[in-house]
Structure 1
């Protein structure tokens, strides 16, 4: 819905409004929030989206008693800390390209007693966020990479007993992540060397390399990585997360890795890993040796998908890859191999997938999302 016709359209609408999306490229009038949101038609509003290059007092939304989904983009958000607003029904919250202070963000989160999913994408003004939530199940975060401004530098998950997925997106340059207690974490990624420190309980990683590991994490079943084809690094991570069933890797090359494949047996490959997907496979020696290691050692593997930056994967090209990867000698005889040609492939989880706990956020095979991506 576009201003200034939005108010008139609401007034002419018959019946309650349950979903409202407003886009506005100009400056919002000071009277806009309450003039719209105090309309009796919005008493049963459940989903609200706002795209606006303007300031917006999020506390105003507390007057909507049944609001369940809130998406705010490109706004300067303010909160009256002394106010009595409460997002009593809010289950999904996403802030993207928004400006909000540490105090305001902590205030909002403290007044979301049933929040299940939170996405913070390139927010400015908040450098340190500490989360303690008995209801949160999904968390996605990106700090905008190397861009300027006061971006998020440290994320601390102190107590999240129901948290199932933690999605630090690929643009998380310099973000320190500390997970103190999240016993049900099942989905994790993208881990990347741009994250200088990642702590998970007693495990400590620096630029993805395990530094301290007095324990392992068996709850993680889905793992996504942004990494070069480096078997030393990846096998080290699989020792930390031995029960991974789905492994997604966005590959890049910063240096040459020999990947000689002299490795001790891994519980993950012997008993658990069922799906492997590698994006940006380029047929280089390092790529081939990297994938071949999984082909020859993953005993319960069901599918391997290689997304290739090329025009097409014709029969001749595919047959050559089968020979190089020694598919006929694969450890799992039932494993299927798929090559998909894509000049460009999304390397970030879509925001809707982060919110939808029924979906694997890294599986793009059934994705039909064409709107806001989270990157």
Structure 2
């Protein structure tokens, strides 16, 4: 019996080993294998052909997902040779799903434009759904300024029926006239224009040719000092006005009935740009607005520096981010009056040693007339001095439904238990207007990592960039506001 049992146990082990050796993946239908290969970087997908004869035809017939940057993990762009791109596109027999390529720099002629136009005409990219390219912005040797940008490839028009995501970088859009019809992208949902040259007329025509567009990013473009947005479908707009005389100087939301978020990104210098909101009834996420802005208008309400003229209220805005040199009571009260339904407020200060000069009696009387409905307040670069304490007390003593107030400390201040206790006394948190309000002091060390109230371990903080403009899944884009480029 013992021998029989032993033989049975051996057979079971052998069966289990044989089971583990079975290639179940290769038994999947071609359509499923094609989807798997498509998710791989281009080179890895091509290498699946050596696995077995079953896989040899899969890569060539699977939807092509070409990303030269993903294939080049090193930081230097342009590691994929042009000949490799041509070979991959010529060898592929399946439809195209995604094509992304960024040239290392602007050349002195039109060679990059010719290469890209040639690649985009390959049959492998038929029915392309996502197109991302950038001609580059580095100034070539011997040039004192950038040469004129190459034109938008004419071959882009062939993807009109299928293109859903597009990012055009470093190119020039033709003027709309009888000889040049505007680009029509009937199924496009996401559009980015970066370092592009485009006139206001051409941009209006482009947006009109995108009837289902959901998100738009405009960054460092030229040729258009004023942008008027009239779109019945846009839900998110991201803007980086750029620098110098070529920057975007005036953004006008003329007719945007579905717009929910307007995100403004820094160009590294002053962001002098006017914003006019004429009609955006669903706008609920806004910012960061800075005191570097010349003028911000919401209907008849005008913000210009510390001066506020309140006529129109905007009940739709629920989340607001501000960047100020110092925490200004005048500015914040103005926004609270304009946005009476505000629920989350983020404020980042930049200047050190400023003493607010407001009159307590005047502001106390004004605040007493406000119904502050803010539920969460985040004050970044908090120093705990007289000026910041006075500002923070506005919410401690008057926000009746406040749930959370986070005070992220300026670098160099370590929130010890004793320091936190003194701050609670100075802020009069025992007399808080909201009985459920929680107050958290968060330190920020020199390595740009956050750590919690007293003894929590440092936590990684991801860098936030302009991709936020297209991330509609994020309910609150300012969660990591410290890392915003502003």
> Under a length normalisation based on structure 2, what TM-score does the superposition of the two structures give?
0.68
Query: Residue 329 of structure 1 corresponds to which residue in structure 2?
Result: 431
1:25 maps to 2:104: yes
Query: Residue 98 of structure 1 corresponds to which residue in structure 2?
Result: 196
Match of 1:248 among 325, 346, 354: 346
CA distance in 2, matches of 1:321, 1:83: 63
1:47 maps to 2:143: no
Q: Structure 1 102/330 Cα, relative in aligned 2: closer, same or farther at 3 Å? A: same
C-alpha displacement at 1:58, in angstroms? 5.4
CA distance in 1, matches of 2:219, 2:331: 28
Contact 1:229 1:253 in 2 (8 A): no
Match of 1:358 among 454, 458, 473: 473
1:191 maps to 2:294: no
Contact 1:243 1:267 in 2 (8 A): no
Once the two structures are superposed, residues 19-61 of structure 1 have per-residue CA deviations (whole angstroms, 9 ceiling, x without a partner) of 3321211434342233222223323332222232252415532
Secondary structure of the corresponding residue to residue 238 of structure 1: helix
Higher relative contact order (CA 8 A, sep 6+): 1
Q: Structure 1 30/354 Cα, relative in aligned 2: closer, same or farther at 3 Å? A: closer
Q: Structure 1 85/143 Cα, relative in aligned 2: closer, same or farther at 3 Å? A: closer
Query: Residue 121 of structure 1 corresponds to which residue in structure 2?
Result: 219
Query: Residue 310 of structure 1 corresponds to which residue in structure 2?
Result: 411
Match of 1:169 among 252, 265, 270: 265
| Structure 2, unpaired ranges of 5+ | 1-67, 69-79, 137-148, 450-460
Once the two structures are superposed, residues 312-339 of structure 1 have per-residue CA deviations (whole angstroms, 9 ceiling, x without a partner) of 4343433333333233332222222233
> Under a length normalisation based on structure 1, what TM-score does the superposition of the two structures give?
0.86
Contact 1:121 1:374 in 2 (8 A): no
CA distance in 2, matches of 1:24, 1:83: 27
Match of 1:156 among 241, 252, 257: 252
Secondary structure of the corresponding residue to residue 264 of structure 1: helix
Instruction: Tell me the matched-pair count.
Output: 364
Contact 2:175 2:199 in 1 (8 A): no
Q: Structure 1 71/18 Cα, relative in aligned 2: closer, same or farther at 3 Å? A: same
Q: Structure 1 206/288 Cα, relative in aligned 2: closer, same or farther at 3 Å? A: same
C-alpha displacement at 1:244, in angstroms? 0.1
Q: Structure 1 321/76 Cα, relative in aligned 2: closer, same or farther at 3 Å? A: same
Q: Structure 1 126/352 Cα, relative in aligned 2: closer, same or farther at 3 Å? A: same
Of Structure 1 and Structure 2, the greater strand share is in: 1
Once the two structures are superposed, residues 255-288 of structure 1 have per-residue CA deviations (whole angstroms, 9 ceiling, x without a partner) of 420454624335442xx21111112112221111
Once the two structures are superposed, residues 130-171 of structure 1 have per-residue CA deviations (whole angstroms, 9 ceiling, x without a partner) of 121111111121212xx3242211222211111111223345
1:265 maps to 2:368: yes
CA distance in 2, matches of 1:12, 1:328: 72
Query: Residue 22 of structure 2 corresponds to which residue in structure 1?
Result: none
Of Structure 1 and Structure 2, the greater helix share is in: 2
| Structure 1, unpaired ranges of 5+ | none
CA distance in 2, matches of 1:186, 1:159: 15
Higher mean Cα deviation, 186-195 or 4-13? 4-13
Higher mean Cα deviation, 309-318 or 113-122? 309-318
C-alpha displacement at 1:80, in angstroms? 5.9
CA distance in 2, matches of 1:121, 1:84: 21
- 1:215-230 alignment, distance < 5 Å: 215-227=312-324, 228-230=326-328
Secondary structure of the corresponding residue to residue 246 of structure 2: coil
Secondary structure of the corresponding residue to residue 78 of structure 1: coil
